[in-house]
């Protein structure tokens, strides 16, 4: 999944309480951070300043946890991830059942 970063707001104005909404997936030992790639392929962690921005990007079913920026960076660092993207938007269209069906049809030469 590729993400695009819009202009970053002033760091002091990001969130009133300093915590980000961070997307997670279910893991065997609890929630695990979801990592992504930038349009150029660099691995990145992501955080959202508001829950509605996370929901608009990933949908209502996306689980999340609240972390400070420094905690998110600390968790991503052992994975070799140094980039943090705040309030990204998807740069690729959402996959639908219709597009998956079309991709499975054979290609015909003209």
Which sequence spans correspond to the domains of the chain?
Answer: 3-104
> Does residue 4 register a pLDDT over 50?
no
pLDDT at position 80 is: 95
Cα–Cα distance for residue pair 32/34, rounded to 1 Å: 6
Asked: is 3-104 a CATH 3.40.50 domain? The reply is no
DSSP 89-105: EESSPPP-HHHHHHHHS
CA distance 71 to 51: 18
Q: What is the pLDDT of residue 31?
A: 92
pTM here is: 0.69
- Give the model confidence (pLDDT) of 8-25 as tens digits: 545 445 555 689 999 999
Percent of the chain with pLDDT over 90: 54
pLDDT reading at 110 higher than 80: no
């Amino acid at each position: 999944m590729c993400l695009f970063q819009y202009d970053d707001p002033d760091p002091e104005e990001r969130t009133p309480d300093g915590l980000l909404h961070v997307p997670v997936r279910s893991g065997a030992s609890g929630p695990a951070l979801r990592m992504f790639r930038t349009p150029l392929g660099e691995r990145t962690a992501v955080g959202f300043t508001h829950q509605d921005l996370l929901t608009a990007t990933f949908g209502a079913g996306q689980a999340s946890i609240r972390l400070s920026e420094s905690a998110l960076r600390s968790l991503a660092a052992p994975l070799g991830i140094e980039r943090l993207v705040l309030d990204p938007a998807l740069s690729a269209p959402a996959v639908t059942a219709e597009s998956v069906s079309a991709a499975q049809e054979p290609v015909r030469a003209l």
